[in-house]
Amino acid sequence: EVQLVQSGAEVKKPGESLKISCKGSGYSFTSYWIGWVRQMPGKGLEWMGIIYPGDSDTRYSPSFQGQVTISADKSISTAYLQWSSLKASDTAMYYCARHHTVTTGRFDPWGQGTLVTVSS
Amino acid sequence: SYVLTQPPSVSVAPGQTARITCGGNNIGSKSVHWYQQKPGQAPVLVVYDDSDRPSGIPERFSGSNSGNTATLTISRVEAGDEADYYCQVWDSSSDPHVVFGGGTKLTVL
């Protein structure tokens, strides 16, 4: 079974750094892009970026370029999303999902989500 | 940048047919994917490439795409179909990017 399992919920203070993870299993992790999607409380889905774990080629949404860093460690089939200095506005649910980039770009499957709360 | 427009809400009685639209400039030339998100859960792909269904998705879910509008159709709506639905496209041009619609809340009356 293809599965993406994300790290647990985080509570952080403004200005702190954070790295959340997404571990893939059940398929060749280096053969598919992984995407990250933000969902702020009560809002819709926003694409943040995608990474190809095979060579770490990364593409960012212009809205998130410079705000976050996407990375991957193919040796442990894990992708990451990190912040160097969190803001209250980063409070959201973050999902990773396998992106079928070479075909028509659907996301399937999705991780269970990681809730990030930033509050002083 | 490319924009996908969905109605904020659609209401339908059980057993009836729900149609959720996704508008975009010449969207008929793109492949459209649809996701269902129930409260407190991650999104789930219900239709991809305009009209294909992943395994495990009921045949009641279908899709179409032409001109400037893509449509997700849910036949014989059940209470369990109440959820938010999002359309999505992938633009693989020189500046590749993903676009999501704003989402539609389906209410089963």
pLDDT in tens, A5-47: 999 999 999 999 999 999 999 999 999 999 999 999 999 999 9
Q: Is the peptide bond before A62 cis (omega within 30 degrees of 0)?
A: no
Confidence at residue B84, expressed as pLDDT on a 0 to 100 scale: 98
pLDDT above 90 covers what percent of chain A? 96
d(CA B19, nearest CA chain A) in Å: 19
Chain B residues inside the 8 Å CB shell of A99: 98
pLDDT above 70 covers what percent of chain A? 100
| Residue spans of chain B under pLDDT 70 | 94
Cα separation of B45 and B86, whole Å?
Answer: 9
Confidence at residue B82, expressed as pLDDT on a 0 to 100 scale: 98
Residue B32 contacts residue B65 (beta carbons within 8 Å)? yes
Residue A68 contacts residue A83 (beta carbons within 8 Å)? yes
Nearest to A94 by CA among A15, A16, A1, A19: A19
- Helix and strand numbers, DSSP H then E, in chain B: 0, 9
d(CA B60, nearest CA chain A) in Å: 20
Q: Is A108 in Cβ contact with B48 (below 8 Å)?
A: yes
Q: Per-residue pLDDT averaged across A62-82, rounded?
A: 97
Confidence at residue B95, expressed as pLDDT on a 0 to 100 scale: 78
